[in-house]
Amino acid sequence: MILTPKIVARLVVVGLLGVLLQLTFFSQVELFHVSPDILPALVVTFGLLGGSMTGAVSGFAIGFLLDCLLIQPLGGASLVLIAVGYAAGMFRERFEIHSRLVAPLLCAILTFAAELGFGAVEAMFGIHTDVSVLVLRDMLVQSVFAFFLGWAIYVGVRRLVRPALVDEATVRRTRRPTVLGA
Amino acid sequence: MYRKQVRRRRAVLALLIVGSFALLTITYGQGSNSVQRGVTAVFAPVSSVLDRALKPARDLVNWVDETFDARGKNAKLEEELEVARKEAVGAQAALAENKELRELVELDESGAIPTGYEPVTGNVIALSPTVWFSDLMIDVGSADGVQLHDPVIDGQGLVGEVTAMTGGTAKVKLISDHSSAVGVKVVPSGIQGIITPTIGEPNRFVLQFLNSDKHVHKGESVVTSGWHTEEIEARFPPNIPVGEVTHASINEQEAQGRSIVRPYADLRNLDTLQVLTGGSRR
């Protein structure tokens, strides 16, 4: 992805909107007793479209904003989302993406990893209560949500930054062959 | 050229990681800092507007969830589902809000709110997205008289305490947060204990007894005891309803000195809350 100021502005708007929607909508709805978390999927999308640097920087920025708005210790969410964005970007740089399922699958896997990461950050500072195995079920359900929501997010963001994508196939108009003497 | 790019990429990544750790180290344990206050001041009005605008959509999704949940249950639950259905659909969102406010008033009139406390009503405007944290943000803050460690309740009972705030918003740590512990007593037996949550099961709290030879029984109520220790930071006034004992086997009580409590408040579905400001607990 070629990062022009216009494209960066679009990414910033998408990131801001993603965080606000997460806090005011997705975190407050439940399906099967679990709230979807779209932020790892959003960072994965940035990583897949822009590469490891875009993924890591967007992960840091989105995590920072999340921690600011929830008045949490700064840096915890950033740390996890940097890893998610960088991993998605590295995947894109190392492998060719042939299937349409790659983006949603990666969203699901890395959302699960992000939830483990959030748990690890919390564990770093000490968890003094019981942890139910149901937390794993919740994380798996969140991954399933991330598969479907990640799909939509990837398609939407890809469309939004299409002019900047270097691997976007140019639509060529078929031209009639020139017939000499006609 | 390529090596230079790789080196630059690694340097930026290292900088971001080191920066995150530095921020975490500096800000851990702080209530709120100027950066957070600034960002919150800018985004809180937007969050508030978005929160209100998206309420019908949220209610619809939550209604679908409740419908799935209620399937296969008995007639009594179907009756409740009918009520939930009425409350959930679009234009009736306001009706649900009124009901919550009425419940809060009822709790106030029932004497559950201790004397000397001034309730300040606020709406939930943001919730933490991961399964590990149990924090939420409400649209009242220090400008409304909210202070650190103020107790927060809903129409059913204790919800949590204020752990940070800005002028117009406050962060509430729910009693289901992994770092939460509340000093409680069981009524009418008067057995004292501490309840702690179970991560992944917001409706299951462990009540750990403190030196008691009495037994608790299923259905008995649990209220705040009013005391706190160095381990229990939360300073709740006494007699705020917390929950009821749902599992109280004699074996578990004698062997482990504990039983299971279900909170009165629906901690997964909070909308309108009251902060009990003032009081003489400090």
Query: Domain with B241 in it: what CATH number?
Result: 2.40.10
Check whether B250 has a pLDDT greater than 70.
Answer: yes
Considering the domain architecture, whether residues B165 and B67 belong to the same structural domain is answered as yes
Considering the domain architecture, whether residues B66 and B122 belong to the same structural domain is answered as yes
Measured over all CA atoms, what is the biggest interatomic distance in chain A, rounded to whole angstroms?
Answer: 87
- Distance CA(B147)–CA(B166), nearest Å, equals 10
Q: Give the nearest partner residue to A24 out of B27, B33, B125, using CB atoms.
A: B125
Residues of A in contact with B33 (CB under 8 A): 74
- Distance CA(A154)–CA(B248), nearest Å, equals 49
pLDDT confidence of B36, banded at 50, 70, 90?
confident
Domain annotation covers residue B81: yes
Considering the domain architecture, whether residues B164 and B67 belong to the same structural domain is answered as yes
- Of the ranges B25-34, B106-115, B167-176, B181-190, which one carries the lowest mean pLDDT score? B106-115
The predicted model gives B241-261 an average pLDDT of 83
Q: Give the nearest partner residue to A71 out of B36, B65, B204, using CB atoms.
A: B36
The answer to whether B139 touches B119, Cβ cutoff 8 Å, is no
The predicted model gives B275-282 an average pLDDT of 73
Q: How many CB pairs under 8 A join A and B?
A: 196
The predicted model gives A58-68 an average pLDDT of 93
Interface test with B, best of A57, A70, A131 (most B CBs within 10 A): A70
Number of domains in chain B: 2
Domain annotation covers residue B3: no
The answer to whether B237 touches B276, Cβ cutoff 8 Å, is yes
Considering the domain architecture, whether residues B56 and B170 belong to the same structural domain is answered as yes
- Distance CA(A121)–CA(A113), nearest Å, equals 12
For residue B100, the model assigns a pLDDT of: 64
Q: Residue B223 corresponds to which amino acid?
A: V
CA-nearest of A48, A68, A15 to B37 is A68
Kindly indicate whether the ipTM for this predicted assembly is greater than 0.85, answering yes or no. Answer: no
Complete DSSP assignment for A41-71: HHHHHHHHHH-HHHHHHHHHHHHHHHHHHTT
Domain ranges of chain A: 5-164
Domain annotation covers residue B20: no
Q: Which residues of A92-117 are buried (b: 16+ CB within 10 A; e: fewer)?
A: beeeeeeeeebbbbbbbbbbbbbbeb
Which chain B residue has its CA at the smallest distance from A135's CA? B200
Domain annotation covers residue B5: no
Considering the domain architecture, whether residues B118 and B162 belong to the same structural domain is answered as yes
The answer to whether B240 touches B184, Cβ cutoff 8 Å, is no
**Distance in Å, alpha carbon of A143 to nearest chain B alpha carbon:** 12
Q: Give the nearest partner residue to B171 out of A26, A31, A70, using CB atoms.
A: A70
> pLDDT by residue (tens digit) across A14-27?
999 999 999 999 98
What's this model's pTM, rounded to 2 decimal places?
0.76
Contact between chains at A131 and B200 (C-beta distance less than 8 A): yes
Task: State the angle between helix axes of B2-27 and A52-69 in degrees (0 to 180), rounded to the nearest 10.
Answer: 10
How many degrees, rounded to 5, is the angle at CA B152 between CA B53 and CA B163? 90
Considering the domain architecture, whether residues B131 and B190 belong to the same structural domain is answered as no
> pLDDT by residue (tens digit) across A123-136?
887 777 778 888 88
Complete DSSP assignment for B137-200: EES--GGGT--TT-EEE-SSSEEEEEEEE-SS-EEEEETTSTT--EEEEEETT--EEEEEEEET
**What value does the CA radius of gyration of chain A take, rounded to a whole number of Å?**
19
Which chain A residue has its CA at the smallest distance from B136's CA? A70
Which domain covers residue B210, as residue numbers?
182-263
Check whether B129 has a pLDDT greater than 90.
Answer: no
For residue A14, the model assigns a pLDDT of: 94
The predicted model gives B68-72 an average pLDDT of 68
Residues of B in contact with A64 (CB under 8 A): 23
Q: Which residues of B193-221 are buried (b: 16+ CB within 10 A; e: fewer)?
A: bbbbbbbbbbbbbbbebeeeeebbeeebb
CA-nearest of B153, B162, B154, B214 to B188 is B214
For B161, the token pair is: 């305490």
How many degrees, rounded to 5, is the angle at CA A30 between CA B177 and CA B104? 65
For B181, the token pair is: 């512990």
For residue B212, the model assigns a pLDDT of: 67
For residue A125, the model assigns a pLDDT of: 76
Which chain B residue has its CA at the smallest distance from A32's CA? B65
Domain annotation covers residue B126: yes
Considering the domain architecture, whether residues B169 and B63 belong to the same structural domain is answered as yes
The answer to whether B272 touches B121, Cβ cutoff 8 Å, is yes
Complete DSSP assignment for A107-138: HHHHHHHHHHHHHHHHHHT---SEE-THHHHH
Considering the domain architecture, whether residues B202 and B228 belong to the same structural domain is answered as yes
> pLDDT by residue (tens digit) across A71-95?
888 888 999 999 999 999 999 888 8
Domain annotation covers residue B8: no
Contact between chains at A23 and B47 (C-beta distance less than 8 A): yes
Considering the domain architecture, whether residues B198 and B73 belong to the same structural domain is answered as no
Bond from prior residue into A36 cis (ω within 30 degrees of 0)? no
Considering the domain architecture, whether residues B161 and B127 belong to the same structural domain is answered as yes
Residues of A in contact with B31 (CB under 8 A): 71
Kind plus residue range of the DSSP H or E element containing A36: none
Interface test with A, best of B24, B40, B162, B196 (most A CBs within 10 A): B24
Percent of chain B with pLDDT over 70: 79
DSSP code for B211: S
Domain A5-164 belongs to what topology?
Arp2/3 complex 21 kDa subunit ARPC3 (1.10.1760)
CA-nearest of A14, A6, A48, A7 to A156 is A14
Contact between chains at B131 and A142 (C-beta distance less than 8 A): yes
Query: Domain with B53 in it: what CATH number?
Result: 2.40.10.340
Considering the domain architecture, whether residues B67 and B51 belong to the same structural domain is answered as yes
The answer to whether A28 touches B127, Cβ cutoff 8 Å, is yes
* Contacts with B240 (C-beta within 8 Å, 6 or more apart), sequence order: B112, B113, B114, B151, B153, B157, B158, B223, B224
For residue A115, the model assigns a pLDDT of: 92
Percent of chain B with pLDDT over 90: 7
Considering the domain architecture, whether residues B163 and B192 belong to the same structural domain is answered as no
